[in-house]
């Protein structure tokens, strides 16, 4: 397999790098640009620029990823930058492989930095946020059970969602985390809906009525009942899914063998054409993905 990048980071002169797209002037006023600029000013370049060597370009390189960083370095008067050399002239491969920090990962990184002696003020300057925001990130997981933390560790869930989770008891926190992962939906509306559907007894302050903007008490009670029913159905499906999928794939294998017999097909087409069509539909409906699922269930 061909490596997508050369193994070593090298230093290139900015004058030898050609932009693959033009910088829009008003971009410099955006929050992302300002945050990156603050980070570079405080700790320097962390993520190298990604470039591709132009063939026959006499040592020139095309910039694939890092246009904001490149512009910030130019604005600061820098003449060189650390670069990662791509073996392909497109940025998709690189961007697809970059792991963006999830809130929980960011929380642990900030804690680690503080333990290593970095002040909260310096971290705030590097991230271009106020000190109160850093304190919120440090306290992000206070009141969240470890099982829920493990479940959401690498998920890109809004930091504000943890404020809602903290209103729930540990068992319900884990249930909600599992529901978020199962649905692959980490949006605030979904988190709020699960909170609205949480039984009062599963809240830390069970005596205090829930308040969700846009929902009445009657609507929340209805959501509680519906979610409880859905959770029961989901558990039943999870318990029987593996066995049923395995049985279905085995049945399909038998039908395939049967339908590959010319004498059987000829007899059924002459005497039972409707049944033959139905069996063929069953065979076609069970995909290769289903076979993989059944194999996983067996293991």
**3-state DSSP helix/strand/coil percent for the chain, to nearest 5?**
60, 10, 30
Task: Transcribe 53-104 into DSSP letters.
Answer: EPTTSSS-EEEEE-HHHHHHHHHTT--EEEEEEBSSS-SHHHHHH--PPPHH
| Half-sphere exposure (Cβ direction) of 211: Cα atoms closer than 13 Å | 1
Look at residue 276 and tell me if it is in a domain. Answer: yes
What pairing do the DSSP bridges indicate for beta strands 49-53 and 61-65?
antiparallel
Is the pLDDT score of 266 beyond 80?
Answer: yes
Report CA dihedral (292, 295, 296, 299) to the nearest 10 degrees: -160
The CATH number for 53's domain is: 3.90.1530.10
Rounded to the nearest integer, the mean pLDDT of the chain is: 81
Rounded Cα distance between 164 and 141, Å, is 12
Range of the domain at 269: 241-298
Is the pLDDT score of 296 beyond 60?
Answer: no
Which secondary structure element, helix H or strand E, spans residue 278, and what is its range? helix 273-285
In this prediction, residue 93 carries a pLDDT of 53
Is the pLDDT score of 95 beyond 60?
Answer: no
pTM above threshold 0.75: no
Across 171-175, 210-214, 230-234, 291-295, least confident range: 291-295
Look at residue 165 and tell me if it is in a domain. Answer: no
Percent of residues, the chain, with pLDDT higher than 70: 84
In this prediction, residue 171 carries a pLDDT of 92
- What is the average per-residue pLDDT within 233-245? 72
Choosing from 47, 75, 97, the residue where a domain stops is 97
Domain count, the chain: 2
Choosing from 72, 97, 122, the residue where a domain stops is 97
In this prediction, residue 43 carries a pLDDT of 79
Choosing from 78, 97, 116, the residue where a domain stops is 97
Look at residue 219 and tell me if it is in a domain. Answer: no
In this prediction, residue 297 carries a pLDDT of 39
Is the pLDDT score of 124 beyond 50?
Answer: yes
Closest CA to 136 of 169, 116, 156, 166: 166
Tens-digit pLDDT profile for residues 134-186 = 888 899 999 999 999 999 988 989 888 999 999 999 999 998 998 888 888 89
Collect all residues with Cβ–Cβ distance below 8 Å to 60 and sequence separation of at least 6.
Answer: 16, 17, 18, 53, 54
- pLDDT band of 290, cuts 50, 70, 90: very low
Look at residue 254 and tell me if it is in a domain. Answer: yes
- pLDDT band of 299, cuts 50, 70, 90: very low
Look at residue 168 and tell me if it is in a domain. Answer: no
Look at residue 27 and tell me if it is in a domain. Answer: yes
- pLDDT band of 288, cuts 50, 70, 90: very low
Look at residue 17 and tell me if it is in a domain. Answer: yes
In this prediction, residue 57 carries a pLDDT of 64
SS3 (DSSP) at 161:
helix
Rounded Cα distance between 191 and 176, Å, is 8
Look at residue 257 and tell me if it is in a domain. Answer: yes
In this prediction, residue 277 carries a pLDDT of 86
Rounded Cα distance between 244 and 238, Å, is 10
Tens-digit pLDDT profile for residues 8-56 = 888 999 999 998 887 777 888 888 888 888 888 887 887 889 898 888 7
Between 223 and 294, where is the model more confident?
223
């Amino acid at each position: 397999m061909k490596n997508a990048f050369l193994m070593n980071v090298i230093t290139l002169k900015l004058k030898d790098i050609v932009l693959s797209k033009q910088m829009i002037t008003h971009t410099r006023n955006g929050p992302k640009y300002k945050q990156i600029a603050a980070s570079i000013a405080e700790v320097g370049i962390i993520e190298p620029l990604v470039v591709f060597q132009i063939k026959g370009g006499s040592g020139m390189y095309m910039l694939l990823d890092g246009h904001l960083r490149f512009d910030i370095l130019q604005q600061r008067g820098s003449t060189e930058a650390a670069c990662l050399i791509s073996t392909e002239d497109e940025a998709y491969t690189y961007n697809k492989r970059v792991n963006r920090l999830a809130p929980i990962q960011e929380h642990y990184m900030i804690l680690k930095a503080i333990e290593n002696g970095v002040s909260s003020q310096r971290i705030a300057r590097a991230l271009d946020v106020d000190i109160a925001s850093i304190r919120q990130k440090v306290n992000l997981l206070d009141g969240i059970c470890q099982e829920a933390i493990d479940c959401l560790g690498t998920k890109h869930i809004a930091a504000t969602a943890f404020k809602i989770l903290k209103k729930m008891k540990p068992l319900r926190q884990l249930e909600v985390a599992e529901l978020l992962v199962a649905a692959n939906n980490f949006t605030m509306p979904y988190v709020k809906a699960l909170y609205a559907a949480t039984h009062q007894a599963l809240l830390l302050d069970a005596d205090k009525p829930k308040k969700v903007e846009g929902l009445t008490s009657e609507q929340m009670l209805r959501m509680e009942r519906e979610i409880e029913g859905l959770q029961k159905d989901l558990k039943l499906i999870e318990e029987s899914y593996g066995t049923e999928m395995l049985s279905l794939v085995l049945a399909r294998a038998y039908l395939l063998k049967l339908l590959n017999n010319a004498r059987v097909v000829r007899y059924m087409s002459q005497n039972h054409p409707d049944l033959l069509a139905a069996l063929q539909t069953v065979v076609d409906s069970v995909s290769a993905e289903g076979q993989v699922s059944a194999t996983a269930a067996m293991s």
